[in-house]
Amino acid sequence: MKDRFSDKASGYAAFRPKYPETLFNHLYTHTKAFDAAWDAGTGNGQVAAVLAGKFNRVYATDISIKQLMKVPNMANLSSFVADEAAPQISDASIDLITVAQAIHWFQVDKFCDEVSRVAKPGALLATWGYGLIQLPSAYQPAVDRFYSKVVGPYWDPERKHIDNSYADISIPFKELKPSEHFEMTYKWNAESLEGYLNTWSSVGNYVKEKGENPVPRLISELTSKGLPAAFEVMFPLFTRLFRV
């Protein structure tokens, strides 16, 4: 698994969008018990921390020690370094497995084998992600060009799975039909937008190759177009749920 986020741990914790309560409530309606959950590819633990408010025990795993250092300290939340497999978790012990904005980095076959091992019969596997940030229409074309033209060549190949809403990722469990649509909407300022864009793996790859950061130029362009002090941003959220 590639580690694209250890050097962005602080920015990731500060600027990445938070998932809506309605999403978690949706997951809970499909979860049969609340003894234990596993959040794989947890990053800074934002999902794991929410789950810890519902489950007796939550396991949060990631390949990045720096990311795991940002996981909240909670009595029923255990975090440890692991890739797609988590041998620290007992067989047939997990009621809910979550992967948020991360399964496109996984060796999916290896991960699904581990899901089969740790899941209780009938456990829920929930994987989700979010697409390109949406700004007010006057400013979106500049963001679209930045995404596809400026840093487009610097996205890892795995990014295509996000663009396809994970539809092209094969998961060998019974898929539940989607019943709800989710999105994340916020009031941001230019600083929030700049901080978020700096967490993009493509921006990191661009900086490593060219030795300069393209984000400030985009922020300047948006500002010159009249970007207000506060503006609405929206992230389209896509989900796939499976019964194990």
pLDDT tens string 91-132: 999 999 999 999 998 999 999 999 999 999 999 999 999 999
The CATH number given to 6-243 is 3.40.50.150
Work out the mean pLDDT of the chain and round it to a whole number.
92
Give tens-digit pLDDT for 38-79.
Answer: 999 999 999 999 999 999 999 999 998 988 998 999 999 999
Judge whether residue 225 has pLDDT over 90. yes
The Cα 108–Cα 172 span in angstroms is 10
Encode pLDDT of 175-203 as tens digits: 998 767 899 999 999 999 999 999 998 99
φ/ψ of residue 113, rounded to 5: -60, -40
| Token pair recorded at residue 227 | 């970007």
The residue ranking higher by pLDDT, 12 or 157, is 157
Region 8-17 average pLDDT: 62
What percent of the chain stands above pLDDT 90? 84
Domain coordinates in residue numbering, the chain: 6-243
Give pLDDT, residue 3.
Answer: 52
pTM of the model: 0.86
Q: What is the distance between the alpha carbons of residues 192 and 237, in angstroms, rounded to a whole number?
A: 19
CB neighbourhood size of 204 (10 A): 18
pLDDT of 136 higher than 60: yes
Q: Taking 90 as the threshold, does the pLDDT of residue 231 lie above it? A: yes
CB 96 within 8 A of CB 102: no
Separation of alpha carbons 57 and 35, rounded Å: 6
Cα angle value 14/19/24 (rounded, 5°): 145
- Model confidence at 5, pLDDT cuts 50, 70, 90, reads low
Average pLDDT for residues 155-167, to the nearest whole number?
91
So what's the pLDDT on residue 10?
A: 56
pLDDT of residue 11: 58
Residue 169 is predicted with a pLDDT of 95
